[in-house]
């Protein structure tokens, strides 16, 4: 018989969970596994709220949240990177196969057997419960250090939103001063993308459907220019000015495996001497 969340593991935990599709969270008593030899247990102090959490809360039953930060309270005997008192975080994943090509290249996020922090099934068959709770237990391999000089609450959103935009900026080489990127949408991810790009010294144009975001983009986040995507004149005028242009595609199948869609069109304006 399936064990209840309270009895599954020896360590009592308390959190907030979705029990129906109302979107309302309620108190949830459950359990975490005992700290294993390669595990880190930490007291959860903050969680970011990612858009996917909102979907989970409305569609599923269980714990959510996967931008989890706190302070280490216990480490296993084989843990090497952390000690009690360290500031740490856990992002979207808590497990993977550790034998596929993706795992071998430190891309466990593309592992076909990746175990997500919530709404997943752990190696032992128990559900992963997310981080909206008082404690968290995770394998050292999936725990990251939060620098001492970074406020923990500000660190949490970097664990999913942050890495989601940092990774493509680095991977596609859009991190060099003098480059020009367009950030489409100024929600949670767009916000962090602008901050990373500016920190790299890259020129940033924010492209948004909403003219109301202009002040936030330019004054608050330091973007260089702002385009309203519903204004065909503005978009026309900006064509060709960026090193990365927006493209509408069904993205999920592409994300899982970091597939690349590339296009090439050799065409040049009269008098344009750029060799690209
Ligand atoms: Zn997320
Ligand atoms: Zn793997």
Residue 93 pLDDT grade (very low, low, confident, very high; cuts 50, 70, 90): very high
The pLDDT, as a whole number, for residue 253 is 61
Q: Mark the residues whose beta carbon lies below 5 A from ion ligand 1.
A: 50, 52, 160
Count the neighbouring beta carbons within 10 Å of the beta carbon of residue 276. Answer: 7
What does pLDDT average to over the chain?
85
CA–CA dist 239, 110 (Å, integer): 33
Residue 257 pLDDT grade (very low, low, confident, very high; cuts 50, 70, 90): low
Distance 100 CA to ligand 1 centre (A): 24
Out of 46-50, 75-79, 179-183, 272-276, which region has the weakest mean confidence (pLDDT)? Answer: 272-276
Ligand in closest contact with the CA of 52: 1
Out of 31-35, 49-53, 120-124, 222-226, which region has the weakest mean confidence (pLDDT)? Answer: 49-53
Contact 30, 128 (CB under 8 A): no
Pairing of strands 39-47, 62-63: unpaired
Ligand in closest contact with the CA of 160: 1
The pLDDT, as a whole number, for residue 260 is 61
Alpha carbons within 13 A on the beta-carbon side of 17: 20
Sole residue written with tokens 């989890």: 68
Distance 88 CA to ligand 1 centre (A): 17
pLDDT, tens digit (0-9, with 9 covering 90-100), for 26-42: 888 989 999 999 999 99
pLDDT, tens digit (0-9, with 9 covering 90-100), for 234-254: 888 887 787 754 455 555 665
- Predicted model pTM: 0.80
Taken in order of first residue, the domains within the chain and their CATH numbers are: 11-159 (3.90.180.10), 162-256 (3.40.50.720)
Q: What's the DSSP call for residue 72?
A: E
Distance 49 CA to ligand 1 centre (A): 8
């Amino acid at each position: 018989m399936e064990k209840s969340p309270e009895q599954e593991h020896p360590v009592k935990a308390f959190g907030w969970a979705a029990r129906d599709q109302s979107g309302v969270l309620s108190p949830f008593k459950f359990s975490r596994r005992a700290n294993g030899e390669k595990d880190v247990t930490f007291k959860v102090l903050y969680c970011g709220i990612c858009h996917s959490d909102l979907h989970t809360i409305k569609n599923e039953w269980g714990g959510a949240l996967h931008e989890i930060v706190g302070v280490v309270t216990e480490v296993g005997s084989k843990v090497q990177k952390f000690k009690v008192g360290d500031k740490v975080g856990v992002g979207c994943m808590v497990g993977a196969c550790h034998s596929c090509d993706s795992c071998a290249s430190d891309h466990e996020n593309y592992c076909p057997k990746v175990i997500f922090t919530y709404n997943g099934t752990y190696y032992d068959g128990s559900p992963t419960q997310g981080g909206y709770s008082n404690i968290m237990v995770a394998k050292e391999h999936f725990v990251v250090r939060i620098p001492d000089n970074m406020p923990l609450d500000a660190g949490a959103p970097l664990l999913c939103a942050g890495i989601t935009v940092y990774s493509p900026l680095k991977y596609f080489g859009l991190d060099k001063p003098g480059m020009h990127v367009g950030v489409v949408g100024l929600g949670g991810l767009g916000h962090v993308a602008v901050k990373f790009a500016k920190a790299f010294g890259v020129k940033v144009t924010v492209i948004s459907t909403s003219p109301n975001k202009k002040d936030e983009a330019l004054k608050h986040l330091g973007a260089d220019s702002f385009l309203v995507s519903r204004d065909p004149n503005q978009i026309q005028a900006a064509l060709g000015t960026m090193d990365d242009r927006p493209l509408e595609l069904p993205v999920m199948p592409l994300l899982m495996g970091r597939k690349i869609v590339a296009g090439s069109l050799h065409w040049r304006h009269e008098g344009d001497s750029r060799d690209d």
